[in-house]
Amino acid sequence: MKRYKHISLFLVSVIFLSCGKSESTTKDAEVHDDLIIEITKEQFEKSGLKLGGLEEASFSEQFQVTGMVDVPPENRSTVSSYFDGYVSQTHLLVGDEVQKGDLLVRLKHPDYLKIQQMYVESLSNYEFLMSEFERKRNLFEDQVISQKVFQSTKNDFLQAQAKFKAMEEQLKLMNLNPKAVAEGKLTSEISIYSPIDGKISKLNVSQGKFLAQSDMIMEILDLDHVHLELDVFEKDILKVNQGDTLSFQVPEISEEIYKAYVKVIGAEVTENRSLRIHAHPKREDVDFAVGMYVNAYFDSSTETHLALPETAFSEVDNEMFLLKLESQSADRYQFEKVEVQTGDPQNGIRPILNAAEINTEAQYLTQGAFDILTSGGGGHDH
């Protein structure tokens, strides 16, 4: 005996037709429940339901690793001064972009004047002893003076030359022009310039603040060449090779999947039994921020399966089902609920692992199946 059961879905009615249970009088009774779902064409169109066929797709066995966005060491610059000083000028904020050679900060200290004074004195002494050295060398060549006198003059000259050169290099470290200082243009301030192009990521300055020569003034990151720092566990290390392609997501900002390739594989397993992998994103037009947490996925093997969109599958009572188009008329669709075995979805589609047990030429409901089944289609009438 057959009965009809009416179910509300998206403000429309879906008719469920089920076979009644027939029991034999024997001890080994058999029960047959073939659930058929029937909807009108108007309901199908208004509910946005869609049909589709099985298609072959590649599915990879994946393993997941975690990591973060970073930049190479040459793209990260910690700015500090070779000399103690007080901040006399600063105008930058975290996030500001700077170019190589831009003024970052000016420092002030009375010791700068002493260094310049010592340079001028060393220059004067050097020039005097150089002149004296040339004069004594000529006298020595003419055998007017002894070798001992000449060697003493030469020794004084070389010492003066070394001191002068050292003082000159100090001025260069202070970003001062030795020629200007030699002309008497002394200053109590020095300027710190940007060593690279990039953005300021850290800032440790304020007007009047004292900075020791070991203190970080700011950090600059060149984001033109970001990469991924990934930690691969020991059990998966042999599955990764240089040049391998991987997928990754930045879960905090987007569900979009990006591609990258393995650039460098680390040489040593860390204490937490993982190996550091450096990977480069294939897209350079995405503004990844340094420090972003990423989930990355490596493919270790690939298999081909017949598949449908993930939205075609519905889980009911821990079992996975599809709705197969059984028949179609001018004003009505009839579907059969079909149990399938499936794997994890990838890129929005799911594999069908028991394709040999179902009709692979049929059309299946690819959108809206879950709402139909969970609204009542999964029950049985007896």
3-state SS, residue 47: coil
* Token pair belonging to 221: 């990151």
In whole angstroms, give the CA distance from residue 4 to residue 72.
68
Confidence of residue 62 (pLDDT cuts 50, 70, 90): confident
pLDDT of residue 48: 85
Mean pLDDT for 272-277 is 92
Residue 17 has pLDDT above 50, yes or no: no
* Token pair belonging to 199: 């953005």
- CB contact at 8 A, 174 and 187: no
Check residue 342 and report its DSSP letter. B
Segment 88-98, tens digit of pLDDT: 999 999 999 99
Confidence of residue 184 (pLDDT cuts 50, 70, 90): very high
pLDDT of residue 80: 95
Residue 14 has pLDDT above 50, yes or no: no
Segment 214-243, tens digit of pLDDT: 899 999 999 888 999 999 998 888 889 899
pLDDT of residue 131: 94
Residue 31 has pLDDT above 90, yes or no: no
Task: For residue 359, count CB atoms less than 10 angstroms from its CB and return exposed for 0-12, middle for 13-18, buried for 19 or more.
Answer: middle
* Token pair belonging to 280: 């480069």
Residue 315 has pLDDT above 60, yes or no: yes
Segment 73-85, tens digit of pLDDT: 899 999 999 999 9
* Token pair belonging to 188: 């109590």
> Does the pTM exceed 0.75?
no
Task: For residue 39, count CB atoms less than 10 angstroms from its CB and return exposed for 0-12, middle for 13-18, buried for 19 or more.
Answer: buried
Confidence of residue 288 (pLDDT cuts 50, 70, 90): confident
Delineate the domains of the chain, giving CATH numbers in brackets. Answer: 2-57+305-377 (2.40.420.20), 62-73+223-303 (2.40.30.170), 76-221 (2.40.50.100)
Report which of residues 211 and 23 the model is more confident about. 211
Q: Which of 21-25, 223-227, 360-364 has the lowest mean pLDDT?
A: 21-25
Mean pLDDT for 50-64 is 87
**Mean pLDDT, the chain, as a whole number?**
85
Mean pLDDT for 292-296 is 93
The DSSP annotation for 80-104 comes to --SS-EEEEEE---TT-EE-TT-EE
- CB contact at 8 A, 197 and 75: no
Residue with tokens 């003419």: 142
